[in-house]
Amino acid sequence: MPRKFPNYLLFAAAVAILLAGLKLAGWMPLLAQRDLMRKYKSVEDVKAELSIREIYVPSYFPQNLSWPPSAVLAQGKPFPALIMEFGQTEGTSAGLVISQSLSDTFRTDGKIRMAQLKEKVRYPLKGRDSTLEVGTCSSGEPCSRVSWKEGNTHITVMARSTPLELIKVAESMLR
């Protein structure tokens, strides 16, 4: 019996080394693709891990939206981009989606889609030239989107709300 005991220890050590190797192998893609679009716990985590210097966050929130963001997605490559989704206090759907990117082709129409565009106008947003779009979402509720450029950053704010509420949120992001 004394001879078999070391064999069990050797087997247990080999299994432990194999499990540690598999765990490390599971982390390798995440380390290699660190800058690609992925989910983060908070805006602070994005600032700490990616080279996005300025993140525009609203200081005004309508009562029907919840803080903190229900989802924060970001990427560093091929260009820095960030998406913040805010849930509605009643229900599970997104009520507000804010995106910012260094690319003007970056689109985030996933969580809030405008089914019917009723009006598209240029709007002076605290001295910035912006585009305001007003329409309805697929469920028939009001949908609004405003987009503008802040330095090199393209910002889009979309909400299941009237344009007045949307403008208040967007203006609160600017200094």
Q: What is the pLDDT of residues 54-65, one digit of tens each?
A: 888 898 888 888
Give the position of tokens 């490390």. 24
pLDDT score at 123: 93
- pLDDT tier for residue 30 given thresholds of 50, 70 and 90: low
Considering only residues 84 and 95, tell me which one the structure prediction assigns the higher pLDDT. Answer: 84
Query: Residue 89 pLDDT > 80, yes or no?
Result: no
Note the pLDDT of residue 119.
Answer: 93
**H/E element, 101:** strand 94-101
pTM over 0.85: no
Residues ≥6 apart with Cβ < 8 Å to 83: 71, 72, 73, 74, 97, 98, 99, 108
Are the C-beta atoms of 94 and 88 separated by less than 8 Å? yes
